[in-house]
């Protein structure tokens, strides 16, 4: 993995992956992930295929498959997260319905199969070139495009700046980004989608779009 953000993610996620997996096994899940999963279940996932980009421990894959989705593809940069996701899928006996691809989705996009549903849960904020990420991922979505990403309020920018200073002080190459919300929305709509569900928490937008 060549890019500095990929190296940063690989390093940071060594810590995050086992913590997230332990929390998930205790039944604890981030509120925004729960909202995204519930929104998709309500919109209907029966028989649909899923492409989950940056899926971490794979909560979305597991819960949509258990909710009736047919099959999932996961594209993940982090080997630690891939490993945790594979452990949990095996525990839930869902391994044969998930295809795992290791790497940067933007670099791999040409070889990634399209799906009915594409999800990016807290991924846009981990990637510098959000335009390429959104353009290449919307192109893969047949019906629904669902994402969780941070609000672009000044206070959130300040908080992330502080967090980035701490990462830098620790010599980490990882950087968190707040990308412009209006531009994210414009890119998704330009790719042929209209909003199907929009919720926001204090810091995050949870948005699902439907192909128009």
Counting contacts by CB under 6 A, is residue 150 touching ligand SAM?
no
Strand ranges inside 24-138, DSSP E: 49-53, 71-76, 98-102, 115-121
Strand pairing category for 115-121 and 71-76: unpaired
Q: Report how far residue 129's alpha carbon sits from residue 180's, in angstroms, rounded to the nearest whole number.
A: 12
Counting contacts by CB under 6 A, is residue 77 touching ligand SAM?
yes
Q: Report how far residue 91's alpha carbon sits from residue 210's, in angstroms, rounded to the nearest whole number.
A: 32
Counting contacts by CB under 6 A, is residue 136 touching ligand SAM?
no
Tokens of 27: 């039944």
Tokens of 53: 């980009």
Strand pairing category for 193-200 and 141-150: unpaired
Please pick, from the candidates 123, 141, 184, 206, the single residue that binds ligand SAM as defined by CB under 6 A. 123
Identify which of residues 98 and 126 has a Cβ nearer to ligand SAM in the complex: 126
Please pick, from the candidates 48, 49, 61, 78, the single residue that binds ligand SAM as defined by CB under 6 A. 78
Counting contacts by CB under 6 A, is residue 73 touching ligand SAM?
no
Identify which of residues 47 and 104 has a Cβ nearer to ligand SAM in the complex: 104
Counting contacts by CB under 6 A, is residue 50 touching ligand SAM?
no
Please pick, from the candidates 8, 33, 115, 117, the single residue that binds ligand SAM as defined by CB under 6 A. 33
Burial of 160 from C-beta contacts in 10 A (0-12 / 13-18 / 19+): middle
Which residue ranges make up the site for ligand SAM (CB under 6 A)?
9, 13, 20, 33, 53-56, 75-78, 81, 104-106, 121-123, 126-127, 133
């Amino acid at each position: 993995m060549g890019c500095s953000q990929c190296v940063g993610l690989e390093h940071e996620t060594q810590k995050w992956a086992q913590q997230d997996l332990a929390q998930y096994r205790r039944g604890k899940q981030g509120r925004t992930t729960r909202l995204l999963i519930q929104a998709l279940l309500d919109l209907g996932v029966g028989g649909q295929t899923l492409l989950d980009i940056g899926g971490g421990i794979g909560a979305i894959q597991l819960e949509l498959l258990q909710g009736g989705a047919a099959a999932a593809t996961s594209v993940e940069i982090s080997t630690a997260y891939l490993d945790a996701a594979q452990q949990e899928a095996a525990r839930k006996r869902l391994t044969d319905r998930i295809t795992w691809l290791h790497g940067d989705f933007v670099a791999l996009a040409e070889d990634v199969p399209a799906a009915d549903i594409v999800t990016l849960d807290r991924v846009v904020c981990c990637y510098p070139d959000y335009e390429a990420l959104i353009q290449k991922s919307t192109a893969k979505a047949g019906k629904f495009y669902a994402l969780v990403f941070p609000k672009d309020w000044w206070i959130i920018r300040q908080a992330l700046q502080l967090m980035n200073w701490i990462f830098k002080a620790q010599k980490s190459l990882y950087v968190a980004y707040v990308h412009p919300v209006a531009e994210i929305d414009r890119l998704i709509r330009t790719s042929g989608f209209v909003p199907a569900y929009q919720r926001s928490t204090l810091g995050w937008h949870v948005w699902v779009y439907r192909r128009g």
